[in-house]
Amino acid sequence: MIARDELYRLVWTKPMTQIAEQFDVSGSYLARICTLLNVPRPARGYWAKLAVGKAPAQTPLPVAQPGDPLHWSKDREHVAPQKLKAPPRRRRVAVRIDRSRIHGLIRGARTHFENGRPVDDGDYLKPYKKLLVDVTASKACLDKALNLANDLFGGLESVGHRVVLAPSDAKLRRSQFDEREVVSQPRDYWQHNGPWSPYRPTVVYVGTVAIGLAIVETSETVTLRYLAGKYVRETDYVPPRGRHAVDHSWTTTRDLPSGRMRIIAYSPYGRVNWSMQWQESKSAALSSQIRTIVQAIESAAPDLVAKLEEADRQAELRHQQWLAEEERRRQEDDRRRVKQSVADSRSELGQVIKQWSDVMSVERFLAGVEHRARDLPETDRRELLERLALARSFLGDQDPLAFFREWKTPEERYAPQYPIASGTGGAGSPGSE
C-alpha cells in the first residue's frame, strides 16, 4: 500500500518505468493510479531536461478533496476509515444556483439514460451504464429530473460541499427506496423488478461525512387496459362504437411514473438508517425549494455524525460483550476439559490397576505350574515346561510396570489454559470428583 503523498514524492524522484517495476505494474497502469489519486507527474522529456538543468518547476500536489482516495494498494489492503466530522457551524451562506453551469455528473448522463435497455412506453428508463448519477425517471421527465439534480448539486457545491459518485473503496451503500407516491401497503418485491439503480451512490460530502442523494420520479397507481397486444391508460381508451362492436380487452393496475419528483437524502453508511425527503406536489415544484433543501442537508450533517458515533459506540459495546462471552465460553470449555481429563485419567488408572491384578494372578498361576513341574519325571517335566513356554509366548509381555508407564496423568491428557482455583476440583486436586 502506498499513500498519495508518498506516490507524489516517488514520481518526482525517478522515472515512472522504475517506479512501475518497484510495484510490479506497467508504466501506463501506474499513470492511471496517479490520475485516480490526483497526483501530478512529470511531463514527457522531463528527465532529459533535468539532466541538463532545464527542467520546469515541480507541479505542487493538490489538496485532497472529501471523497478523494488517499491510498492505493495492488492487493486491495484494508485502509482504516477516515474519522467523520461535520464542518463547524457558520453563518448561513447564500445558496447560488447557476443553471448555465452543468455539473460533471449530469454532463453526458442524458445519452446514457436514453440509450438503455428497452422498456415499456412511459416506464422508468434503465441505462446500461451503472456508474451514473442516481436519477430514476421516465423518458418524458428525464430532462426535468436531470435539471433538478443539476440545480441541487450546484447549490450544494456553491456553499462548499462536494457532490461525487461514492469512491470505490469508501464502502458506502445506496439505500433501497419505494418510489411510490402513496405507499398504502408493503410491496411484494418478488413480483416487482423495481426501477434502475446505480452501482455506487451519489453522495455529497459535508465536511468529511457523506450524505447519499437520489432524485426519483414518483409512481402512481394507474388503471391500464390491454388492447390489441399492448396496454393503454384507461383515460386514453375509446371504446368501440356500433351496434355489433365487440370489445376484447381487460383492465389491470400498475405503478407508473407520475411526472412528479422526489429528492431523497439518506445515510450511505450501513450502520445507520436515516433519510430525509422532499416531495413535489401538483401545486409546488421542487426546483423552487432547492435553497431550503440545501440548507436542510447541511444542517443534518452534525446529527448524522452523532448517529454514526452512537452506532459505533453501540457496535463497540456489542463487540466487547461478544469478546466477554467468548472468554467465558473458553473458560467454561477449559474447565470442562480439565474435569474430563481428571475423570479419564482416573478411569484409566483403575483399568491399569485391574490389568496389574490380572497379570499378577496369571503370573502366580504360571509360577505355581512351574514349581509343581519340578516334582514330575523328566519326560513329563520337559513336556510341561514346553507347554508353559508356549503359554507365556501367547500372553506376551506381562510386565505390570509397562502398563503403569502408559497411564496418562490429567496434565498429560490436557494442559489447562487458565489457572485452576484452589478447591475447584481441578487436575491438581487429588480429592476432586
Whether 118 and 265 share a structural domain: yes
pLDDT at residue 176 tops 80: yes
Which residues, in sequence order, are CB contacts of 134 under 8 Å at separation 6+?
174, 197, 198, 201, 202, 212, 213, 214, 215
Instruction: Tell if the pTM clears 0.75, that is, is over it.
Output: no
Whether 23 and 118 share a structural domain: no
- The pLDDT of residue 129: 93
| Residue 255 lies inside a defined structural domain of this protein | yes
φ/ψ (deg, to 5) at 11: -70, -20
Q: Provide the percentage of residues in the chain whose pLDDT is more than 90.
A: 34
Whether 24 and 153 share a structural domain: no
Whether 304 and 188 share a structural domain: yes
Whether 296 and 147 share a structural domain: yes
pLDDT confidence of 23, banded at 50, 70, 90? confident
| Residue 379 lies inside a defined structural domain of this protein | yes
| Residue 79 lies inside a defined structural domain of this protein | no
CA distance linking residue 266 with residue 276, whole number of Å: 6
| Residue 336 lies inside a defined structural domain of this protein | yes
Whether 130 and 278 share a structural domain: yes
Cβ-contact 213, 177 below 8 angstroms? no
Cβ-contact 268, 211 below 8 angstroms? yes
pLDDT at residue 433 tops 50: no
Secondary element (H or E) of residue 29: helix 27-36
Whether 56 and 174 share a structural domain: no
Whether 408 and 271 share a structural domain: no
> Comparing C-alpha atoms, which of 344, 347, 341 is closest to residue 417?
341
Give the domain extent around 54.
Answer: 2-72
- The pLDDT of residue 325: 96
For CA atoms 414, 415, 419, 425, give the dihedral sign: positive
Whether 300 and 334 share a structural domain: no
Higher pLDDT, residue 14 or 182? 14
Average pLDDT over residues 408-429: 73
Whether 351 and 301 share a structural domain: no
What would the pLDDT profile of 85-111 be if each residue is shown by its tens digit? 666 666 667 788 888 899 999 999 999
What would the pLDDT profile of 307-355 be if each residue is shown by its tens digit? 999 999 999 999 999 999 999 999 999 999 999 999 999 998 888 888 8
Number of domains in the chain: 3
Whether 385 and 348 share a structural domain: yes
Average pLDDT over residues 175-185: 82
| Residue 102 lies inside a defined structural domain of this protein | no
| Residue 395 lies inside a defined structural domain of this protein | yes
Which residues, in sequence order, are CB contacts of 123 under 8 Å at separation 6+?
138, 256, 257
What would the pLDDT profile of 63-90 be if each residue is shown by its tens digit? 888 777 788 877 765 555 566 766 666 6
Whether 295 and 208 share a structural domain: yes
Cα 132 to the center of its chain, rounded Å: 22
